[in-house]
Chain A
């Protein structure tokens, strides 16, 4: 799980073009949205797109995404459970 958490932090940074952020700056158990990183609705759509592309997870309802994005840890658990790749 830790490896996946690190992998996701790296992917979040590159998918959202967060140039000045390092993986260590993203706290594993804090909300991905609504704090420090300054993310918006396009970013959540971008992460949904990333999940489909890299893990084969198709999300149809944004409410499902909202729950998964509660933190990097919940996202990692969601990916581990639902990944097709």
Chain B
């Protein structure tokens, strides 16, 4: 492994040039930063979805005013919600990018259900624009976003359940390291819909009041919607210091479709792969942003996995799904953005909606935000359906 790691370390690195977000907190990463600072949950019930015998309508809904503003600004895509959100996030992320030829610009989209609202409308024979109809297919959504953002380089569309976002960031970083692109726009987007609410209700995995990650009396997750975007740029094109995607890894539990492997060994593999690729030891991680969905099984498994990797020295950690819910395809991207916002504020995030920590959870789990002593290297993890696990190491680097 040594030789290939040295090669990896000497390769051009992917650095973060900008971020953008649409989430339950509203439009823009500023709204996320405020929620982070206030340790505030933006989960809420939604009258329009009541009366359908879903376990709950409490979710991280993007405010209707936000969607209305996006639609007003872009009438051609007015009913193409997935596009509207991803495009808005990308525009925010891509504000100050170095100029490179279009052929050196790439795009990677992460989504589980793309424009699921369009699919529902088509199925129910309700009006649906041709544009939105196209976006039933995730790849066409990616292609349209690429066209809208002057991308003539590689376009990839990742759809790997709840780890899609981290895999998309990995792909972006990999494209830069391989010299296939100098700028990669990475976007993750998903929508909360009847389809998804019905699905998670049938799995009985939603908490009627709203998720409580790592809480002793947690009973389930909350869904969320939105889009996150990160513009990755070849590191030497940016002034120092920069945050780089220093390492990544993924794995499969190879155990069961909807339940994580009992001992968390799959997640351990993904974390260790990321640490190894970043050439960082466990004790080099200053902050860990957990997956922390609030289900009994996930948070249990995750706690075991973290103990296996870090022993008694799990770094300060938190989950942000109490803010905007589990945003599925957008999760890895939005939650990575949260890490970067925390670093910018030099403040470790808390875990909104966590009241009493489960004894099995890491002792270092943060309920409230806390000033950071050192934030130079962060680890983001996600797990998902069908045994999926992914991990990403973010590192602040000087010239």
Contacts and interface: CB of A to CB of B under 8 A. Distances in A.
A, B bound: yes
Interface of A: 40-42, 45, 48-49, 58, 60, 62
Contacts of A48: 204
Interface string B190-210: 000000000000111000000
Contact of B202 (A40, A41, A45, A62): A45
A43 B265 CA distance: 25
A45 B204 contact: yes
Nearest to B258: A42
A40 B256 contact: yes
Contacts of A62: 204
B53 A58 contact: yes
Nearest to A44: B204
A42 B257 CA distance: 9
A66 to B, nearest CB: 12
Contact of B258 (A41, A49, A58, A60): A41
14 contacts: A40-B256, A41-B256, A41-B258, A41-B259, A42-B257, A42-B258, A45-B202, A45-B203, A45-B204, A48-B204, A49-B202, A58-B53, A60-B55, A62-B204
Task: Select the residue from A49, A58, A62 with max chain B CB neighbours within 10 A.
Answer: A49
Interface of A is mostly: helix
Interface residues of B, number: 9
Contacts of A41: 256, 258-259
Contacts of B53: 58
A58 to B, nearest CB: 7
Interface of B is mostly: loop
A46 to B, nearest CB: 9
Contacts, number: 14
Interface in B2-48: none
Contacts of A49: 202
A1 to B, nearest CB: 28
A72 to B, nearest CB: 22
Task: Select the residue from A42, A48, A58, A62 with max chain B CB neighbours within 10 A.
Answer: A42
A64 B215 CA distance: 24
Interface in B245-260: 256-259
Given A42-B258, A58-B53, 12 more contacts: A40-B256, A41-B256, A41-B258, A41-B259, A42-B257, A45-B202, A45-B203, A45-B204, A48-B204, A49-B202, A60-B55, A62-B204
Nearest to A59: B204
Interface string B48-83: 000001010000000000000000000000000000
A58 B201 CA distance: 12
Interface in B121-168: none
Nearest to A65: B204
Contacts of B258: 41-42
5 tightest A-B CB contacts, nearest first: A49-B202, A42-B258, A45-B203, A62-B204, A41-B259
A49 B55 CA distance: 13
Contacts of B55: 60
Contacts of B203: 45
B308 to A, nearest CB: 24
Task: Select the residue from B202, B203, B204, B256 with max chain A CB neighbours within 10 A.
Answer: B204
Contacts of A40: 256
A58 B52 CA distance: 12
Nearest to A42: B258
A14 to B, nearest CB: 17
A62 B206 CA distance: 13
A32 B92 CA distance: 54
Contacts of A60: 55
A58 B53 CA distance: 9
B205 to A, nearest CB: 9
A49 B204 CA distance: 10
Contacts of B259: 41
Contacts of A58: 53
A58 B259 CA distance: 23
A58 B203 CA distance: 14
B127 to A, nearest CB: 30
Task: Select the residue from A41, A58, A62 with max chain B CB neighbours within 10 A.
Answer: A41
Contacts of B202: 45, 49
Contacts of A42: 257-258
A45 B259 CA distance: 13
